[in-house]
């Protein structure tokens, strides 16, 4: 079983932990939970079947040997009253008790926005001056488990740190409710002898939620949760297990996902979510981040699916944002609303942009192999000046 995790107090000066597992800057209050040595779960003790409840206004009659429940009219009314009390976790984009999907292309800012959402939920609606007031949560501050399978702790910390020039970096102080989980590769090899990695991840997520009493779970990103998501046979078991976790622990879950290569002149739709349509079919809500033709630092957020409210940020009224580092915190800042069509590239510009991306990758690959700009230009059949420009743009 997993050894109990007890966070150590922050040391007075920056010092990276030197043991196995993750490190965290001392000025960060958010904890890091890592996968420990997990062999196999202990068998649960046998128990008597639970008695069949008689049912009341808030619960349904249930036979312990059936997988379904039957609700009476008065019970349906009671559940409807409870549903109206669901609070917004991220403005109208994500409500309590929902599985929500946030998707966007690579390097558009999914993780930046997801950490910002986690930070807002951890701090709650206590009058903080949030950079995205439109997405402020309605709930009080609560614990959030942020499962980060994208960045190392050093990469994560660097995003929220600035060099003061005094030898001691200035670091954003996350709320104590912010709990960051990442893979502990030092234990994975031994643990994987007994079960696949995705099963280990699910068990650790459940353990982190239970041990910390968290009701909010953010997973960055969904590709680490299954062997694949491209087909219904892969996506359906994943989503069913997440739905089961949501109901068992009363969770609100935000899943980050990618989009395949797409034309930037087309509006964002549910078809831009990479993987099987089962992903979005099982989700309660979904929203996406789009790149804007108005500037390299400009993004727009668009609602794609919602069940708890009417669409607010649809194609005619997307939420416009700019990415910037305010002090020590890298975040999205609100820049009003507008029509999605104003942020789309014309088809010729979109085509050039994708071509440039492919050429940048090729230039960087050949440059890493030690080729000169002239040799790269000859290899790619483009001008030397364009090679130089692409290389400089990548560095910037």
Please answer whether residues 347 and 266 qualify as being in contact, where contact means their C-beta atoms are separated by less than 8 angstroms: no
Cα torsion 152, 155, 159, 162: sign: positive
pLDDT band (50, 70, 90) for residue 217: very high
Q: Mean pLDDT across the chain, nearest whole number? A: 80
Query: Packing angle between helix 232-249 and helix 197-212, nearest 10 degrees?
Result: 20
Tell me the percentage of the chain whose pLDDT exceeds 90.
Answer: 45
**Higher-confidence position of 229 and 26:** 229
Q: What is the pLDDT of residue 354?
A: 55
- Please name which of 42, 26, 33 lies closest in space to residue 211, comparing C-alpha atoms: 33
- pLDDT higher than 90, residue 4: no
Q: Which residues contact 191 (CB under 8 A, 6 or more apart)?
A: 35, 37, 38, 39, 200
State the maximum Cα–Cα separation within the chain, in Å, rounded to a whole number.
81
- Please name which of 138, 147, 146 lies closest in space to residue 96, comparing C-alpha atoms: 138
Please answer whether residues 350 and 265 qualify as being in contact, where contact means their C-beta atoms are separated by less than 8 angstroms: yes
pLDDT band (50, 70, 90) for residue 84: low
pTM of the model: 0.71
Q: What is the pLDDT of residues 5-33, one digit of tens each?
A: 444 444 444 443 444 444 333 344 444 44
- pLDDT higher than 90, residue 181: yes
Tell me the mean pLDDT in the region 43-57.
46
Range among 41-45, 70-74, 88-92, 263-267 with highest mean pLDDT value: 88-92
Q: What is the pLDDT of residues 137-148, one digit of tens each?
A: 999 999 999 999
Q: What is the pLDDT of residue 192?
A: 57
Please answer whether residues 225 and 243 qualify as being in contact, where contact means their C-beta atoms are separated by less than 8 angstroms: no
Q: What is the pLDDT of residue 324?
A: 94
How, if at all, do strands 31-34 and 178-182 pair?
A: parallel
Q: Which residues contact 370 (CB under 8 A, 6 or more apart)?
A: none
Tell me, rounded to whole angstroms, the distance of Cα 332 from its chain centroid: 15
Tell me the mean pLDDT in the region 121-128.
81
Range among 65-79, 85-99, 347-361 with highest mean pLDDT value: 85-99
Q: What is the pLDDT of residues 252-269, one digit of tens each?
A: 999 999 998 788 889 999
Q: What is the pLDDT of residue 387?
A: 82
| H-state helical runs in 2-105 | 73-83
Q: What is the CA radius of gyration of the chain?
A: 23
Q: Find the distance separating the first CA and the last CA of the chain, reported in whole Å.
A: 47
Q: What is the pLDDT of residue 40?
A: 33
Tell me the mean pLDDT in the region 286-304.
95
Q: What is the pLDDT of residue 166?
A: 86
Least confident interval from 75-89, 140-154, 164-178, 188-202: 188-202
C-alpha to C-alpha distance for 298 and 378, rounded to whole angstroms: 35
Least confident interval from 169-178, 223-232, 302-311, 345-354: 345-354
Tell me the mean pLDDT in the region 342-370.
73
Tell me the percentage of the chain whose pLDDT exceeds 70.
Answer: 75
Q: At which residue do the structure tokens 């008597």 appear?
A: 48
C-alpha to C-alpha distance for 304 and 311, rounded to whole angstroms: 8
- Nearest-5° angle of CA 202, CA 200, CA 5? 90
Q: Beta-carbon neighbour count of residue 4 at 10 Å?
A: 8
Q: Beta-carbon neighbour count of residue 72 at 10 Å?
A: 13
The SS3 assignment for 69 reads coil
Q: Beta-carbon neighbour count of residue 151 at 10 Å?
A: 16
The SS3 assignment for 248 reads helix
Tell me the mean pLDDT in the region 342-348.
78
CA distances from 326 to 131, 159, 231, 278, 322 (A): 9, 11, 41, 38, 11
Burial letters for 208-239: b for 16+ Cβ neighbours within 10 Å, e otherwise? bbeebebbbbbbbbbbebbeebeeeebbbebb
- Please name which of 171, 116, 115, 123 lies closest in space to residue 143, comparing C-alpha atoms: 123
- Please name which of 309, 335, 388 lies closest in space to residue 88, comparing C-alpha atoms: 309
Q: At which residue do the structure tokens 């800012």 appear?
A: 109
**Higher-confidence position of 2 and 161:** 161
C-alpha to C-alpha distance for 77 and 70, rounded to whole angstroms: 13
Token pair of 22 as six digits: 């993750």
Cα torsion 29, 30, 36, 38: sign: positive
The pair phi, psi for residue 367, each rounded to 5°, is: -65, -40
Range among 185-189, 220-224, 269-273, 366-370 with highest mean pLDDT value: 269-273
pLDDT band (50, 70, 90) for residue 171: very high
Q: What is the pLDDT of residue 306?
A: 94
């Amino acid at each position: 079983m997993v050894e109990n995790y007890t966070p150590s107090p922050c040391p007075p000066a920056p010092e990276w932990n030197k043991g196995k597992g993750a490190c965290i800057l001392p000025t960060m209050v958010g904890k890091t939970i890592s996968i420990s040595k997990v062999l196999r779960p202990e068998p649960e003790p046998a128990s008597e079947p639970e008695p069949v409840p008689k049912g009341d206004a808030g619960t349904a009659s249930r036979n312990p040997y059936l997988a379904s429940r039957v609700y009476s009219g008065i019970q349906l009314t009671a559940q409807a009253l409870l549903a109206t009390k669901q609070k917004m976790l991220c403005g109208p984009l994500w409500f309590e008790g929902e599985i929500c999907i946030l998707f966007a292309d690579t390097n558009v800012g999914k993780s930046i926005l997801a950490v910002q959402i986690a930070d807002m939920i951890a701090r709650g609606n206590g009058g903080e001056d949030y950079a995205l007031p439109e997405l402020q949560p309605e709930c009080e501050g609560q614990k959030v488990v942020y499962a980060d399978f994208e960045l190392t702790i050093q990469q994560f910390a660097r995003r929220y740190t600035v060099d003061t020039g005094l030898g001691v970096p200035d670091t954003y102080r996350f709320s104590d409710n912010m709990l960051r989980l990442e893979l502990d590769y030092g234990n994975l090899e031994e643990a994987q002898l007994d079960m696949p990695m995705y099963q280990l991840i699910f068990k650790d997520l459940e353990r982190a939620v239970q041990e910390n009493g968290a009701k909010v779970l953010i997973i960055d990103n969904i590709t680490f949760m299954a062997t694949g998501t491209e087909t219904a046979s892969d996506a359906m078991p994943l989503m069913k297990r997440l739905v089961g976790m949501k109901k068992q622990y009363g969770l609100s879950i935000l899943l980050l996902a990618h989009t395949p290569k797409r034309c930037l002149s087309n509006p964002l739709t549910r078809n831009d979510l990479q993987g099987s349509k089962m992903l979005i079919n099982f989700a309660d809500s979904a929203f996406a981040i789009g790149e804007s033709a108005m500037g390299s630092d400009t993004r727009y957020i668009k609602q794609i699916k919602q069940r708890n409210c009417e669409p607010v940020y649809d194609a005619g009224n997307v939420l416009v944002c700019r990415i910037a580092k305010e002090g020590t915190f890298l975040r999205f800042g609100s820049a009003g609303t507008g029509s999605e069509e104003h942020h789309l590239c014309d088809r010729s510009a979109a085509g050039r942009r994708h071509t440039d991306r492919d050429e940048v990758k090729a230039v960087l690959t050949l440059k890493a192999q030690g080729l000169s700009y002239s040799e790269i230009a000859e290899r790619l059949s483009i001008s030397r000046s364009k090679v130089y420009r692409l290389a400089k743009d990548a560095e910037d």
